[in-house]
Amino acid sequence: MGHPPLRTACTRASWGLPVAPGAVRLSWREACGSVIWRSVLRARRIQQLMELTVLPPSDSERGRRLPAWLKRPLPSGDFSRTRRVVADSGVATVCEEARCPNLSECWSKRHATFMILGDKCTRRCHYCAVETATPDPPAADEPERLADSVAQLGLRHVVITAVARDDLADEGAGHFARCVTAIHERSKDTTVEVLPADFHARRDCVTVLCEARPELYNHNIEMVERLTPKIRPHGDYRRSLEVLRLVKRISPNLITKSGMMVGLGERMDEVKVALDDLRSVGCDVVTIGQYLQPTRTHHVPTVEYYRPEAFEQLAEFCRSIGFLSVASGPFVRSSYNAAEVFEESRRRLGSGRS
């Protein structure tokens, strides 16, 4: 049976949020009946995001612990402040929506990857935790709210991603560009990394976003070509490569980046072919991380956990074929340590890839 939408001062205060005038003030004892369940559920979700328990689908393996190297720290530092700023902005973050295992670490450092154009995606990928549903219309004031949040957090580098918006005539490219412009106008020294969907490799859409002059254009191939049709049915491996090729044709000096997951059942030779494919379209930066199954019932299972030394071997291969910068490790995601990766790329670009 449902519970009444009663607002409590103690619930909001427990999350570091301001107490609205007129809110019903209850003691913890009074709240523990029919109301506190909402904050408990939210707390559990944050805990799940921090611990990210990943279980294979078979009954015989329920309760299996993750390898020792797949553990994350509890929140520290500026975690609460980042949470407040994100909540006040009303802009979604991929950290929460995609159940990122790095949420506690990144938010403690005041790093967040903002997800614009809503939290509902028009595509369904069998590895992704973002909801697939009919999206709401883009919020006209989102660019300004996003720019305010970036300024409040004092970010020197920000990553903006978005759900796929196949329902929009320009697939969201114009809104994306306005967000980039708003951040540059508000925070002159902040560099912007964009991580859009593929826009179906439409040159007009890619051009609109490039003309907003982000400092880095990121688009993920996600996985090896063989697995793409089954796990990413609305995506296309070759189309993603074409997006990265288009960016270099439109803006030759714009740094490009792509990322992929391992542990989905690919072979090592397939991973190296994918990395070679990225270099063939001029991709400058690559990230490689371990796939972790978001839910046991609704997402493809993790087939293999790569050991840290395997990620280092992949990093060495990437450097050997000419990537400017490489981030490769179990918890690496496209935006993980994005500022450091971008600065390394820019430094090496300036020094002639030495």
**Do the bridges between strand 191-195 and strand 216-218 make them parallel or antiparallel, or are there none, so unpaired?**
parallel
Would you give the DSSP letter of residue 7?
-
Three-class SS state of 228: helix
> What residue type is 221 in one-letter code?
I
As a whole number of angstroms, the distance between CA 284 and CA 141 comes to: 33
User: Is there a contact between 326 and 260 (Cβ–Cβ < 8 Å)?
Assistant: no
Question: How confident is the prediction for the chain on average, in pLDDT?
Answer: 79
User: Is there a contact between 118 and 163 (Cβ–Cβ < 8 Å)?
Assistant: yes
> Vertex 205, ends 204 and 211: CA angle to 5°?
85
Of 47-51, 121-125, 239-243, 299-303, least confident by mean pLDDT is 47-51
Query: For the chain, what's the residue count?
Result: 354
> What residue type is 182 in one-letter code?
A
Percent of the chain with pLDDT over 70: 68
Which tens digit of pLDDT belongs to each residue from 200-234?
Answer: 999 999 999 999 999 999 999 999 999 999 999 99
What is the longest distance spanned by two Cα atoms in the chain?
66
* Higher-confidence position of 68 and 289: 289
The whole-number pLDDT of residue 258 equals 98
Question: Which residues contact residue 224 at a Cβ distance below 8 angstroms, ignoring those fewer than 6 apart?
Answer: 237, 260, 264, 266, 267, 270, 271, 273, 274
- Partners of 216 in the β-ladder: 193, 255
What is the dihedral sign for C-alpha 17, 21, 27, 30? negative
Which tens digit of pLDDT belongs to each residue from 291-307?
Answer: 989 888 889 999 999 99
**Do the bridges between strand 113-116 and strand 92-93 make them parallel or antiparallel, or are there none, so unpaired?**
antiparallel
- Quote the tokens at residue 138: 């883009």
As a whole number of angstroms, the distance between CA 153 and CA 151 comes to: 5
As a whole number of angstroms, the distance between CA 113 and CA 159 comes to: 5
Which tens digit of pLDDT belongs to each residue from 340-352?
Answer: 889 899 999 887 6
Name the pLDDT band for 73 (thresholds 50, 70, 90). low
Name the pLDDT band for 48 (thresholds 50, 70, 90). very low
Please choose, from the candidates 224, 225, 222, 198, the residue with its C-alpha nearest in 3D space to the C-alpha of residue 209.
198
Please choose, from the candidates 313, 293, 320, 329, the residue with its C-alpha nearest in 3D space to the C-alpha of residue 66.
293
Task: Please give the average per-residue pLDDT across 297-325, as a whole number.
Answer: 95
Domains of the chain: 74-348 (3.20.20.70)
Please choose, from the candidates 147, 13, 7, 156, the residue with its C-alpha nearest in 3D space to the C-alpha of residue 80.
13
Which tens digit of pLDDT belongs to each residue from 158-195?
Answer: 999 999 999 999 999 999 999 999 999 999 999 999 99
> Which pTM was predicted?
0.74
Name the pLDDT band for 97 (thresholds 50, 70, 90). very low
As a whole number of angstroms, the distance between CA 76 and CA 199 comes to: 38
Task: Please give the average per-residue pLDDT across 63-69, as a whole number.
Answer: 62
Of 36-40, 57-61, 150-154, 225-229, least confident by mean pLDDT is 57-61
